[in-house]
Structure 1
Amino acid sequence: MKKFSTIALLIAVAFPVMASSQAFAQEAVNAAKAGKCTFLPDAPDKHVVVKGDTLWDISAKFLSNPWCWPEVWGMNRDEIRNPHWIYPNQIVYFDRVNGRLRLGQAVGGSGADGSAKDGGRLQPQVRTEDTGKNAITAIPSNLIEPFLSQPLVIEKDTLLTAPRIVATQEGRVILAKSDKAYVRGDLKGGTSFQVFRPGVPLKDPENNTVIGYEAVYLGTLKLERTAKTPDGVDSFIVASAKEEMAVGDRLMPIPPTPIQNYVPHPPERDVRARIVSIYGGVSQAGQNQVVSINKGASAGLNIGTVLELSRYGKIIQDKTDEKKPIRLPDEHYGSLFIFRVFDNISYGLIMTVTDTVAVGDLATSPE
């Protein structure tokens, strides 16, 4: 297998954490030197991009670790700031001589199979557009969209300070669309809010302490009138209602429209996290499901971080030495792509796995 350490971009996708791009570039070099980013021995010579492809999927056809695609494309900081995109019908070539991937497109346009319509030769080039509307994404964006637009994890400290519904119009028990709600708390200048109800507590597997709550999303409120006196309340109108709202439910600002493309990268420092919960309340999960872990921004995680999933090695008796207990090595079985980060909790999408994921399993820096 060939190893590489080139850092010059042919493509990139939008990177939400620009401030850490220097550290990211260094991580790319370190990963390449460590031999993490190696090509598969049976990698194809090329791949024609089709609708529905993701950068992760394409990279899995060429690389032993799909998250390494930024390194083989040679990403650098300048081109991260001016994203390039990959579109259906373009062709990804494996340059075996230089040990990297290249992007090509047929001269004079390309057919569905990526071949030149006019029979001309293929000229490698990069297509740049401002919107990237039809470009393929880094990971399956449809799987994580609900987790980007709704506050599905509420950290313990945030819960205590969030504005709350204290009364309803004419003493109604529940609220529906267009009803009026009265709210107390610091709105911090916001006018549009999501409403949630604290749900299942999330406990850290390391010490069993509550580190947050899964939130039940109820709908949205729109500010109608602010309080006129110190002991007054803010008046809101229910803009949308997914479920019934009531006194005691909490408000969170509506987050900005999320960026759908992310650059995968190893964490900037060593991480050893645990799976806290599997979305949906089940005990086990598989590929393309969402889990939460007990580490977040305070541990150095950011959007796009890739962690390695593993299970603690079993303790067995050594039958060859008076049955003394021994611990088998931790078993690595997949990858976790972090797409939403809180201070002490993160959401991750389970990518390639060879086993089921369970609460308490490890999520660590790639070896």
Structure 2
Amino acid sequence: MRKLLYALAASLLLITFTAQAAPEFRSDHPERYTVVKGDTLWDISGRFLNNPWYWPEIWHVNPQVENPHLIYPGDVLALVYIDGEARVTKVTSRGVEKLSPQVRSEPLGTPIPAIPLDAISSFLSEARIVDPETLQQAPYVLEGEDSRIITGAGDRVYVRGEKPADKVGIYRRSKVFNDPQTGEFLGLEARSIARGNVTAENGDVLTVSITRSSEEVRIGDRLLVQEDRRINTQFQPSAPARQVEGQMISVEGGVNQIGQYDVVAINRGTREGLEAGNVLAVFQAGNLVRDPVTDETIELPSERAGLLMVFRAYEKVSYGLVLQASRVLSIGDKVRNP
């Protein structure tokens, strides 16, 4: 009997969760909205929905529009009803777009991004997750030209090791990520210092001309194949495909207090089903208090305190941008499905 009651309770919880997992339109949502330069897909989703991560479920793709998943400044979006369900789609002054094949006479311009690119663009070019062996075995800087130990853009450096490619990135070991709960090694963050071209080989000594640098190149910095760091602007805000629970384990810049538009690392990645565009709620850890009656130490419940969106996912670690923060966030705060 008890097992039957447990099964019924679990079923009710699942039904409740499923019922709640649906787009919820704002009471003040617009009937039409004209996209302007500077908008992000997250901003627009928030104009229509209380839960913007359900945008994919309300977006109606017009199959007769070129690049139908992209939204550009000047596009008009409107709320329409299709088979009785509210949807948002591109429209013109004549209604829903019905385009026949033709050559567009005006340039498209740049589609709006999912999140503010100026908040993450520099970070995307400066960090990557690698395994320690890859970095340890990579070619390393011996010295700069004229025996200098610190060099920058426009200089040459001498490197020892096997050439990884003609175009290379110069990286420096940064943070080691371990799971705060299990201690599992999650990855090593390598910070990009410079980019360059291999211009000569003399045995296992390479000459590298530095074409761009974010800081000084030092002896011991490592060469890796230059990673393609083009920013994907086409992902959509979405809820993770399955239940995810993790923690924020690092923040870019090493600050103590985390707020809106800070870049954070979390201890969950593609193996847990995360992908770019997934939105997670941030829960501030509850305080530890002493029970005055039993003298036990009790952890108070976590409280929802913000939202973040994953913009880059590796196997065990993901980077996300904090989009909302109702209070100061900290390393160790929990993340889970919104």
Fold-level match, TM-score > 0.5?
A: yes
Q: Does 1:67 align with 2:53?
A: yes
Counterpart of 1:197 in structure 2 is 172
Structure showing the higher strand proportion among its residues: 2
Counterpart of 2:90 in structure 1 is 103
Q: Does 1:276 align with 2:262?
A: no
Say which of 119, 141, 154 aligns to 2:117: 141
**Alpha-carbon deviations, 1:269-321, whole Å to 9, x = none?**
332221111111111111121111122233332222222211233454667x7
SS in 2 for 1:56: helix
**Structure-1-length-normalised TM-score:** 0.74
Counterpart of 1:41 in structure 2 is 27
Amino acid at match of 1:148: L
Give the direction of change, closer, same or farther, for the CA distance of 1:33–1:187 in structure 2 (3 Å limit): farther
SS in 2 for 1:285: coil
1:117-196 matches, cutoff 5 A? 122-125=94-97, 132-151=108-127, 153-188=129-164, 190-196=165-171
Distance 1:181 1:349 in 2: 35
SS in 1 for 2:85: coil
Report how far residue 193 of structure 1 moved: 1.5
Give the direction of change, closer, same or farther, for the CA distance of 1:342–1:226 in structure 2 (3 Å limit): farther
**Structure-2-length-normalised TM-score:** 0.79
Distance 2:76 2:119 in 1: 26
Report how far residue 339 of structure 1 moved: 0.8
1:151–1:252 CA contact under 8 A, matched in 2:
no
Q: Structure 2, unaligned stretches of length 5 or more? A: 1-16
2:271–2:316 CA contact under 8 A, matched in 1:
yes
Which deviates more, 62-71 or 349-358?
A: 349-358
**Alpha-carbon deviations, 1:126-161, whole Å to 9, x = none?**
789798533322211221111222325555344323
CA RMSD in angstroms comes to 3.3
Amino acid at match of 1:255: E
Distance 1:151 1:32 in 2: 38
Distance 2:89 2:144 in 1: 60
1:284–1:358 CA contact under 8 A, matched in 2:
yes
Give the direction of change, closer, same or farther, for the CA distance of 1:138–1:178 in structure 2 (3 Å limit): closer
Counterpart of 2:259 in structure 1 is 286
Amino acid at match of 2:197: K
2:52–2:237 CA contact under 8 A, matched in 1:
no
Distance 1:79 1:163 in 2: 51
2:169–2:195 CA contact under 8 A, matched in 1:
yes
Q: Does 1:264 align with 2:243?
A: no
Identity %: 32
Q: Does 1:252 align with 2:224?
A: yes
Give the direction of change, closer, same or farther, for the CA distance of 1:185–1:364 in structure 2 (3 Å limit): farther
Counterpart of 2:270 in structure 1 is 297
